[in-house]
Every structure is written in C-alpha cells, then in structure tokens.
Structure 1
Amino acid sequence: MGSVTLPRSLFARNIALLVALVIVSQISSLSVLMHFVQRPRIERAAETFAIYVQTLDDLLKTVAPDAQSALAVRFEASRQFPAGAASEPSLTWRNFYRTYQRDVFIDTLRQHLPAGMEVQWQTQGEQRLWIRAHLGHEPSWIALPVPEAAHNDGMLSAVALSLALGGLAIVTAYLIQRHINRPLRDLANAAHRLSSGDAPQALRVDGTTEIAQVSVAFNQMVHALQEADATRSLMLAGISHDIRTPLTKLRLAVAMTTPSEEHDELALSTDHYLDQIDAILQQFMDYAGSGTREAAEVGDLNALVTSLAADFAGLGHVFELTLGELQPFAFRPISVMRVLMNLMQNAVLYGRVGLSARTWEDDASHTAYVEIADRGNGVNAGDLDALKAPFKRGRSTGAHPGGTGLGLAIVERIAKLHGGELQLLQREGGGFAAIVSLTTRPGNQRSQEERGAAQEPSQVKR
C-alpha cells in the first residue's frame, strides 16, 4: 500500500492541516444541517401533505358525475401514468440537494399514504407531483403542481456561503501562518550566516512568546560563540607570543654558538626543529583568525594562482595551469592566498606528481572555482570529509614531516567566510583534487539555497 507523502516544510504542513480541518468542518456542518435540521423539516412537511392528499382523495370519491369531467381537466386526470413523466435526471453536484430533498419527501409521503395510492414526482419540465387517487370510483393519476418555493428553500445559497466562508478561513490561516513563519525564516537565515563564518545581526524578540524565546536563546548562543572565539584567539595569541619569545632566544643562542665540525649536524637539526615549531604556532594563529578581520578587495584570482604557481616552480614543483575567464571580484587576498598555499603544499607533500591548478566560473550561481589536484596515491573515499576536521592529517609520502592537521580546516573556514565551500574528490585515473568555491556576489554572501544550486562535486568536469 502506498503511503501519503506529506509536505516537508512546517509551513506547508500547517496550511494542509488547516485546509483539511476547514473541509472536514464544512462537510460535518452540512451533514448535521441536512440530517438533523432539513430532513426532519421535510418529513414533517410530507406527513402534513399526506393528510391533505387523503382528504382530497376522499372528496374526489364523492364528486357528482357531472362535475367529474371538469375536475379531470383541472387535475389532468389520466387512467394510465403519462409516459416520461417519472424520468430521473442525471445526478450532479448542483442538483444533489434537490434530489436528496425530493427522495426524502417521496419516501416519507409513501409511508403515510394508503398502500394502493402510488406517488411519482415529475422532474422533466414543470415540477409536478402525480398521485393515483380516485376520481369518482375509478382510480386515476392526477397532477398537483409543486411551487418553486416548495423545493428550493435557499439551501444552495447557504452551501455557497458556507464554502465562501471556508475559503476565507483558509486564506486567513495562510496569512497568519506566513506571519508566524517569518521569524522562523529569519532564524534559519541567521543560522546559515553563522555557519558560513559571518556574524549575523541580533534577531528581533518582539514576536509571540514561543518564537521570542527561541530568538533570545539564539542571540545568547551567538554572543557566547563570539566570546568563545575571541577568547580562543586571545589565548592562541598569548601562547604564540609566550612561546616565540624563548624560541627567538634559543635560535639566537644556537646561532651565536660556534659549532665544531662534529656539532654542525646537531645545530642544523636544532634549527630545523625550531622552524617546525614556529610553523606550527603560525598554523594555530591562522586557524584562530581565518581572515575574519581582513577587508575584502577587488582582485584577480587568476593572477594570484599564477604568482603562487611561479613560486612553487622556483622550488622545483611545477603546477600545470588551466585558467578560465574570471572577472575581478571582491575577496580577502591574504586569506585566499593562504588557501591556495595550503592546498598547493598538500599537493606537493602528499601527491608529488601530476600537479595542476585550474580555475573556472559559473555565471548562473555567481561562483568562482579553484581546483588544486595531483596524481598521487589519493585518499580513501570514506576519509575525504574527515580530512577537513581540525587536527586530522593525511599520511605524508615525502621526507617532510606532517603538519598539525589544521591546513584543510583553515581552507574550509576561509571558503565559508567567502560564501563558498571546500570539496575533496578522488580523481578518475588516480589522484586527489581539492576544489574551493568563492562567491563573486558583492559582499561575499549568498543564501544556502544558492549554495545548494552551485555545482555538485560529481558534476565538476575533469
């Protein structure tokens, strides 16, 4: 058996529920009206009419023979029932109530008339009630006209008014639900901005009590996160400062030492470890800041990629460049340079061969893409998302030691700060690719829906 598919959004579900409730209430009201109000009225009218019919029949039985001819013409008397007079009309929603009303009336009338007195309602042409009465002592079909007011008491107008009121209730419920959903939509947008690294504006707390409580809790959470972020940055800056001061003194002491030939290797090793500690401290500082305080400037992303590729080429690591047509747009140059350097260093450290850099732009989503790829051993598909988590490191294939595991986490935070994201993919034919998207919209912000409409990892061309 198939299951009913409900709308996904709370707004659509509430509207569907309100519409269903209005429909059920209207059907229930009409059912109660017809069964407990209209039906008893029709039955009482049929009982009264049955008395009149029997009285008329008794009178016609005693009519003098010379007056029977005039009465026969008056009542259209006929020994046989007129052909076609009892044909039933097709039942439609427009004549449903009339048919119901007529059937109840006829059934009740037959119950209160003698067994031999038949009754038929003529529905074609003029509405008439045919009764098999006695004209003199001979049974004959006589026609009694039925006034329009007798079978049209404004019920259809009442039904139409009820449906109009139901429609008005649905429209009113829709407007009320939209008003209730507006702060929820603002909350969702603020949450998306917060997840993208932006500081959302404080939500309004002047709505309904329940929504206001949620807004107050969200504002408190944002304030607590901002304080925690500021405390973390201050703590890391203090640690960096306190550790770098003795490191500088230690480096100076090593440099001032006049090494003998047997101590040259130890001095070089010590200097290398000091450089590694300093690089680790810098990565912690980069992760804490991630460019949040840097102002965006209009720049050329292709030029930045070309410049960094030239620097790596000078170190013996050549990246094959495939640069698309990118219009200048606003981005944080130092932060984006940090993104590209981290990805290129990872490609050199973990991939080593088949290094490439590619850029392109998607005009539909207003997004610029940068892909840094290699033809190394790659990474297991199940580990791709885990690599973006802080302190998660891959296995180095070179002689260089691994870093802190913050490189891709820094890239992810900076990409979100620019309204984009980091995608990690396995390449067809072997290798690994990291794709960073940056929005080209002014303000470096875009909604979650637009981000979802951007190119998916499986659709990126190779």
Structure 2
Amino acid sequence: MTGPRSMFAQLALVIGLVLAGACVLVVALGREMAVRPAADQLARAMRGFAGIAEELDRTSSHEATLRYLRDAGLDVRQRPPPAATLRWAPFLRGLHSRSQELLGPDHRVVLAHEPTGDRMWMQLHTQPQVWVAFSAGPLRVGRRLSIAVLVGCALLTWLAAAYFAQRLVAPLRTLANAAPGLVRGETPPTLEVGGTREVRELAQALTQASREARAAAEERAVMLAGISHDLRTPLTRVQFAAELLPDTDPELRAGISRDIGEIDAILSQFIAYARDGRDEAAEPLDLAEVCRSVLDAAPGHWDIQCPETAPLRGRPIAVRRAVENLVVNAARHGAAPFSLRLVEACGAWQVTVCDHGMGMTPEQAERALQPFVHDPAAGGSGLGLAIVDRVARQHDGSLALLPNTPHGLRAVLRLRGA
C-alpha cells in the first residue's frame, strides 16, 4: 500500500488524521462530561416538576392542574402515546434512562417521534392520570449547533494548517526545480526561496556547491584545452617530419598519419567534453538541415528519412556535435546498412540512428553513456556518447541505446529545445 508521495499531501493527511482523532475524542469526552450530567440534571428537574404537579392535583381541582400544565406550555393527554422504535441520540437515551430511574416504576417515561418533533412523555399520578410532553426539539437543535461548531472549527484549523504547510512546501519545490541545474554546475539562478531558516540555509548551500562545481568545470576546461593545444604542436611537427622523410615506407607513413589523425580526434573530443556547450547561446536552427549536413560528410551509404524542415531552438554547435557523434559511433562500432530517421513525437524531435552491427546489451548500453568507457579494439576516446547524452539533457531531452531488430544498435536522441 502506497501513501501520498508529496510532502504537502503527507502533511495534509497527517493534519486531517489528527483533526479527525481530535473530533472523535471531543465527541467521546463530551458525551461523558456534558451529556450525562445534563441528562441527570433535566431528569431531576422533571421529577421535581412531577411532584409539584401531583401535589397541586391533590390540593386543588383537577381542572386547575390541567390549566396550570397548559399555561406552562406543556401538551397534556389522557391516553399514553405510542412508543417509538427509532435510534435516539445519546442525550435523549440518557435522559430517558435517568428519568425512569429517578421517577421510579410508578411513573412511566416514553420517547415518541411525532410530526411536530421528538418528544418525551411523562406519566403523572393525578386523578385521573394524565401524560405531559417535554419537547426534544431544542435539545436536538443545540446538539446540531454544537456539531456544526465543532466541524467548522476543525475545517478552519485544517485550512490554516494547510496554508502553513503550503508555505513550507513551496520553497522546497523551488529548490527541487533548481536542483538538477545546480548539481550539473550550471550558472545558479537567484533563488528567492524564503521559508524557514533551514530551507534558506539549504538554498545557500546548494548555490555555493553549484558555484564550486562550475569553477571546477571551468578549471578542467582550461586544463584540457591547454594540454590539447600543447600536444597538437608536436603532433604537427611529427606529421611534417613523416612526410619529409626520404625513402620512407608508404604504408608506415600512412599508418603514422592515421595515428596522428586519431590522436587529434581524441584531443578534439576532450576539448568538446570539457567545454560542454553551456556557454553557447541558444538560437533557432533547422534540425533537418543539421542531419543532412552531417550525413553529407559521413562515409558510406546512409538511408535518411526526415522532413523538409525541423525547427528547434537550441545550441547549434552542440546539436551538430551530438548528431555527428551518433553517426561516427554507428560507422565505427556498427555495420551497414545505416539509417537516420528524424520525426516529431510528443512535442519533441526524435533522431534515430540505426546500424546492423553487434549491438549492445542493456548493461553495456548503460556503461557506454559514462565518460571514458570505450572498446580499446575499436578505438575512440569513450566520450562520444557521453557528450550526446549531455547535449540531450541540456535540451530537455534524452538519449536511449536500444536493440535494433533483428540485430544492431538503435540510438534514439530526443530534443525539445534549450
């Protein structure tokens, strides 16, 4: 059994349960502390009234007794009323029981439900005997009023508690919305969370952690860019030297050139991963044109299916690098035939790159999205898919590596916009 997941719902449920328990307790205590004493007091008053009326009947005429009873606002009848079999309120049951105890077996007390309202009839020992009625209407009205007041107080208390619970939850919801960007080290927004002191301290701690993560990322970018620049200079000299060496084996020279190109590509991936594209401004672009442009420069034959235009607001260089990395990954690790499909689904653009190679298991697909995880036999830096995954998250999207029936890999890149 699962309960409410949000903090506000949990607080509202706890408050509601506490108020419900309090109402039950008030009703139970009220019955013990108010209903029984009140019923006992009224029963004693009825016994005293019966004694006065019977004494008056003995000392004066019966007509004077009847006139006295009617002047007191009581209904009088000669025959006993029919007893009702309804479920009476606790107060009336207590009053009936206590009256019967105090008046004794010589006086009968009957509860009756009549069109004019609920009444309690009491038998008087007069000559002849008469029955007088005491209306229970005011008692029922008072009971209903008490219940209405109790329910109203509980409702007002719950509304007040829900208001303060909402004030407590709103800053936490603001922090929850800002937390993913803060954890990724993005430029922290100005968080006006308000709330309690602990919530403000949490907001300050998250903001400070985001600034530190951002500073570490910038330091890493500068370091990798410097290393890459320093390595490219001797690589260029080696490449020129290999070209100028006389009597060099052509195959050896071609192998050196390939290795230098591979090292240069790895250094480019390092720089791209370090700079991560956060500083690039978002602008309108045509995703269909990006896909076609990437495939024009890709080796081998590609089957492409995409609309004429695919408008998207995003970071052009980052989006192009993501599509390019998917195409290069399929060509390097997969096998022909290759295909790229661009469609719009659920308010997002979906780029699907398929190959018919060996594919990946779910565990391999999960590891492939981590930085520096790659197949040494196939080469590469292990950053291509990690860069694609990060670009997808920057554009409120996702990257999924799925099996391609009957065999191969199907990389699905979803982009909504930066």
CA 1:226–1:237: 2 relative to 1, 3 Å: same
Shift of 1:230: 0.7
CA 1:72–1:174: 2 relative to 1, 3 Å: closer
* Aligned twin of 2:320: 337
* Aligned twin of 2:181: 193
* Aligned twin of 2:230: 242
Could you tell me which amino acid in structure 1 is paired with residue 109 of structure 2?
A: V
* Aligned twin of 2:349: 368
From 126, 146, 163, the counterpart of 1:135 = 126
Could you tell me which amino acid in structure 2 is paired with residue 249 of structure 1?
A: R
Q: What does 1:67-216 correspond to in 2, within 5 Å? A: 67-68=61-62, 75-78=76-79, 81-82=80-81, 85-89=82-86, 91=87, 99-126=89-116, 128-136=119-127, 140=129, 142-147=130-135, 151-152=139-140, 154-194=142-182, 198-204=186-192, 206-216=194-204
Shift of 1:247: 2.2
1:270 paired with 2:270, answer no
CA 1:200–1:326: 2 relative to 1, 3 Å: farther
Q: Secondary structure at the match of 1:33?
A: helix
Say whether the 8 Å CA contact 2:340–2:353 is kept in structure 1. yes
Say whether the 8 Å CA contact 2:188–2:207 is kept in structure 1. no
Shift of 1:296: 2.6
Say whether the 8 Å CA contact 1:309–1:319 is kept in structure 2. yes
1:302 paired with 2:288, answer yes
Q: Secondary structure at the match of 2:406?
A: coil
Most deviating of 212-221 and 321-330 = 321-330
CA distance in 2, matches of 1:197, 1:374: 34
Shift of 1:191: 1.6
CA 1:194–1:209: 2 relative to 1, 3 Å: closer
* Aligned twin of 1:42: 39
Say whether the 8 Å CA contact 1:86–1:121 is kept in structure 2. yes
CA 1:331–1:221: 2 relative to 1, 3 Å: same
Shift of 1:48: 3.3
Shift of 1:196: 6.9
Could you tell me which amino acid in structure 2 is paired with residue 106 of structure 1?
A: H
Say whether the 8 Å CA contact 1:196–1:417 is kept in structure 2. no
Query: TM-score, normalised on structure 1?
Result: 0.81
Say whether the 8 Å CA contact 2:183–2:210 is kept in structure 1. no
Shift of 1:328: 2.1
Shift of 1:292: 1.9
Could you tell me which amino acid in structure 2 is paired with residue 76 of structure 1?
A: R
Deviations 1:286-328 (A, max 9, x none): 111122222233222112211222222xx3x111011135442
From 363, 371, 378, the counterpart of 1:382 = 363
1:420 paired with 2:397, answer yes
Most deviating of 5-14 and 108-117 = 108-117
CA distance in 2, matches of 1:116, 1:217: 82
CA distance in 2, matches of 1:407, 1:278: 14
Aligned alpha-carbon RMSD (Å): 2.6
Say whether the 8 Å CA contact 1:324–1:359 is kept in structure 2. yes
Could you tell me which amino acid in structure 2 is paired with residue 429 of structure 1?
A: P
Shift of 1:388: 0.5
CA 1:183–1:175: 2 relative to 1, 3 Å: same
Shift of 1:380: 1.3
Say whether the 8 Å CA contact 1:129–1:143 is kept in structure 2. no
Structure 2 residue runs of 5 or longer lacking an equivalent are: 70-75
Deviations 1:101-142 (A, max 9, x none): 211111111111223332113331455443344334x7x4x2
Shift of 1:271: 2.9
From 407, 414, 417, the counterpart of 1:437 = 414
CA distance in 2, matches of 1:154, 1:181: 40
What number of residue pairs does the alignment pair up?
A: 410
Most deviating of 385-394 and 327-336 = 327-336
Could you tell me which amino acid in structure 2 is paired with residue 377 of structure 1?
A: M
Shift of 1:195: 5.9
CA distance in 2, matches of 1:323, 1:395: 34
Could you tell me which amino acid in structure 2 is paired with residue 135 of structure 1?
A: T
* Aligned twin of 1:253: 241
Q: Secondary structure at the match of 1:371?
A: strand
Q: Secondary structure at the match of 2:107?
A: coil
Say whether the 8 Å CA contact 2:123–2:131 is kept in structure 1. no
CA distance in 1, matches of 2:44, 2:313: 88
Could you tell me which amino acid in structure 1 is paired with residue 342 of structure 2?
A: T
Say whether the 8 Å CA contact 1:326–1:360 is kept in structure 2. no
1:392 paired with 2:380, answer no
Query: TM-score, normalised on structure 2?
Result: 0.89
Q: Secondary structure at the match of 1:384?
A: helix
Shift of 1:248: 2.5
CA distance in 2, matches of 1:378, 1:296: 34
Say whether the 8 Å CA contact 2:120–2:135 is kept in structure 1. no
Most deviating of 207-216 and 197-206 = 197-206
CA 1:197–1:345: 2 relative to 1, 3 Å: farther
Could you tell me which amino acid in structure 1 is paired with residue 365 of structure 2?
A: L
Say whether the 8 Å CA contact 1:392–1:406 is kept in structure 2. yes
Say whether the 8 Å CA contact 1:370–1:436 is kept in structure 2. yes
CA distance in 2, matches of 1:384, 1:369: 19
CA 1:130–1:332: 2 relative to 1, 3 Å: closer
CA distance in 1, matches of 2:4, 2:193: 28
Shift of 1:180: 1.6
Most deviating of 67-76 and 105-114 = 67-76
1:7 paired with 2:4, answer yes
Q: Secondary structure at the match of 2:373?
A: coil
